[in-house]
Amino acid sequence: MSRGGAPGLKLEVSGGSFDQVQLQTPEVPQAVVLQGGPSSWSVSKPQMGTGGHLWFVASKEEGNQVLRASTYFFFPAKHQVPTEMLRAPRGGLEIVPMRLQEHGGTREGSRWRFLLRHENQALANHSLQLETEGGTRQTVTSDANGIAEITFPRDFLAERLTSKEGMNARQDFVLSVRHEAGGKQYLTTYNHSYNPDRMRERSLPIGVGVLALGMVLATPLLRRKGKKNA
């Protein structure tokens, strides 16, 4: 959120540049093109609506390569369920969450399902990669309906959980999928963050691990300006 000026949001890109960023909300499921670029965009207060989930999709096409990155932001308010917004046809290669986190957040050990689709058609038996700030690398395969299920790993280091952050610690993750069709190569990512398992409050792990952050270089991500550990 911006301070000292007009209320709204600032969105930034890491790992590349994009031609445009589109915004969707449950109130306005039709995509709205944001002002800005190629690495920073502004969201005005009227565009944010009354609250809830804001879904962002950045895109770029260069030669035979089509890049897309998506993420979302949630702010507490009386809001509509985002199901219709998520299922809205957008074309291209997509990673669509079956639901979006709200107050509880995504935590270690929790399971989340994602729909893989291209040109609004499900991609069955297709690979989806997970990479986390904690160093986890994992590949899962979608089922016959294009649904891939991710179980978030317990990969927070002990010192993160015994520091001031504690259970409020946050790590980034990115999901990525590749697909080739019609002579074009598609790369799409979805990124957000997750928190420690609440059960860790009862039994913190002993010892110190080694942080192995190595997210794919030049993988397109979206992030809010000023977000820590992004």
Percent of the chain with pLDDT over 90: 45
Was domain 8-224 assigned CATH 2.60.40.10? yes
**What number is the average pLDDT over the span 56-77?**
90
Q: Are 59 and 38 in contact (CB under 8 A)?
A: no
What is the three-class DSSP state of 64?
A: coil
Which DSSP state fits 206? P
Q: Is the pLDDT of residue 228 over 80?
A: no
pTM score of the predicted model:
0.80
Q: In which residue are the tokens 């399971």 written?
A: 111
C-alpha–C-alpha distance, residues 54 and 71, integer Å: 9
Q: Are 96 and 115 in contact (CB under 8 A)?
A: yes
Q: In which residue are the tokens 């207060």 written?
A: 45
Q: Are 176 and 220 in contact (CB under 8 A)?
A: no
Delimit the domains of the chain by residue range.
Answer: 8-224
Beta-strand relationship, 65-75 and 184-194: parallel
As a whole number of angstroms, the longest Cα–Cα distance in the chain is 53
C-alpha–C-alpha distance, residues 192 and 109, integer Å: 16
At residue 35, the pLDDT reads 87
In this predicted model, what pLDDT tens digit does every residue of 47-63 receive, in sequence order? 887 777 889 999 999 99
**Tokens of residue 29, six digits:** 């499921």
Of 52-56, 82-86, 132-136, which gets the smallest average pLDDT? 82-86
Of 70-84, 92-106, 117-131, 159-173, which gets the smallest average pLDDT? 70-84
In this predicted model, what pLDDT tens digit does every residue of 15-31 receive, in sequence order? 788 999 999 988 887 88
C-alpha–C-alpha distance, residues 209 and 88, integer Å: 42
